[in-house]
Amino acid sequence: MTGSKNTKPFLKWAGGKTQLIVEIEKSLPNIGHSHFTYIEPFVGSGAVLFWMLNNFPNLKKVVINDINQDLINTYKTIASNPNELISILEILQSEYHDLDGNDEKKKQYYYDKRTLYNTRKEERTSHSALFIFLNRTCFNGLYRVNRKNEFNVPMGSYKKPTICDTENLLAVSEALQKVEILCGDFEQTLSYADEKSLFYFDPPYKPLSETSSFNSYAKDEFNDDEQIRLRDFCNRLDALNHTWILSNSDVKGKNAEDNFFDDLYAEFSIQRVNAKRSINANHKKRGKLTELLITNQVNI
Ligand SMILES: C[S@@+](CC[C@H](N)C(=O)[O-])C[C@H]1O[C@@H](n2cnc3c(N)ncnc32)[C@H](O)[C@@H]1O
């Protein structure tokens, strides 16, 4: 792998980390040799993954994981079958663009594809193409499913969105050749660690309020008990001499009395960083927010 290609996420995803990367870079341990194992247990759209792949071409091993099976299958399709995927996406894109100006037909097309996606009967490459199509055309690029795992996000209002970014998909496919792609709970990644691996955790954020909850990426909720289970996992990694960096919402910024993360991670280094969040239906609420960057490295 050359690492010179500028790969970027192929999806829009709630909690995309583009703005936080600068801060994450500052908290990276001294990794001048850059020959280490990088593990991302909640990969989502992989903003940090692709940044790592672009900037550290000599990584020893890279492991990604997510509990969302449709997402992980899409990563696997891009890695193993990019050309067929691109052919299907080109057709979806041209059919969708041709409907521009005919709102009724466009809407019908979107909802037909959504229904087809939810049957989960298509073979893997076609299903992955539908996954990317829906991500590019739905409201705000959200991924939300109901209890039956049916994707239920309404149509977005984009005129002619890019559905098939051929150049990037090919670059992502090449970059993924050295990546081990796993689907399941975050804890399973431990068995893929080498001596002194670097983990980056971007779990579903703890909601700042009941109504701001955007953590339903999968059918099972990531509640406070899950946040505690993640902290316990971080403790285990620390004891095993691995390095980890974790981001989460800053609940204290909203309510000064709320010490949830300050208490959970009291033994570690907690930094508050400015971060713009782009997924918020209410424009007035988009604005400056702080987020937490927590690490077991002392020299943050
Ligand atoms: C905040 S998003 C990650 C955002 C991502 N870093 C980005 O840049 O777009 C959290 C991810 O955690 C996944 N997830 C939720 N529960 C999980 C679990 N128990 N184990 C692994 N992944 C999980 C969700 O499917 C979702 O993709």
164-196 per-position pLDDT tens digit: 999 999 999 999 999 999 999 999 999 999 988
Distance, in Å, from the CA atom of 140 to the CA atom of 154, rounded to the nearest integer, reads: 9
Domains of the chain: 18-68+168-295 (3.40.50.150), 75-167 (1.10.1020.10)
**Nearest atom, ligand 1, residue 18 CA:** 8
Distance 187 CA to ligand 1 centre (A): 13
Query: Each residue of 54-67: pLDDT tens digit?
Result: 988 889 999 999 99
Residue 16 CB partners (closer than 8 Å, separation 6+) = 9, 44, 45, 47, 278
pTM of the model: 0.91
Whether residue 287 is predicted with pLDDT greater than 60 in this model: the reply is no
Contact present, 184 and 153 (Cβ < 8 Å):
no
With a 6 A CB cut-off, is 62 part of the ligand 1 pocket?
no
pLDDT at 35: 81
pLDDT category at 299 given cuts 50, 70, 90 is very low
Whether residue 20 is predicted with pLDDT greater than 90 in this model: the reply is no
Distance 43 CA to ligand 1 centre (A): 6
Most confident of 52-66, 171-185, 242-256, 286-300: 171-185
**Nearest atom, ligand 1, residue 17 CA:** 8
